[in-house]
Structure 1
Amino acid sequence: MADYQNPPVEDPSASTQMFRAFVDEPQPKPATAVSESSRTGVITVGVIVALAIIAAVVYLAVK
């Protein structure tokens, strides 16, 4: 049977070691220009497709 009256004793140095490991962790590299250019390309294609759809709707409405 478990003894729920006495909580486990925590080691305060373990928390400090875990914090230091977290702080000393190397930071990820920032995004490169390749991902930005591909995002820009996708946005550009999306805008062109949206304009083509709007133009087609306006053409059909006027016709």
Structure 2
Amino acid sequence: MAENYTDPSGNTQQFRAFVDAREAAAPAAAPNRLPLILGGVAVVLVVAVVAWLALG
């Protein structure tokens, strides 16, 4: 461990800066997957209808 390591729990100001830095580095929320799911369902339905019409 480095000699100049500063314990973030050393005082309130250091701890708040430590928490704020971790929140800023957090990954962004995952994008909404609903359009992808609906698109996949629509494609499956279209393929099923085309297959039904072709075989029927």
Q: TM-score, normalised by structure 1?
A: 0.46
Larger helix proportion, structure 1 or 2? 1
Q: TM-score, normalised by structure 2?
A: 0.50
Of structures 1 and 2, the one with the larger relative CO (CA 8 A, separation 6+) is: 2
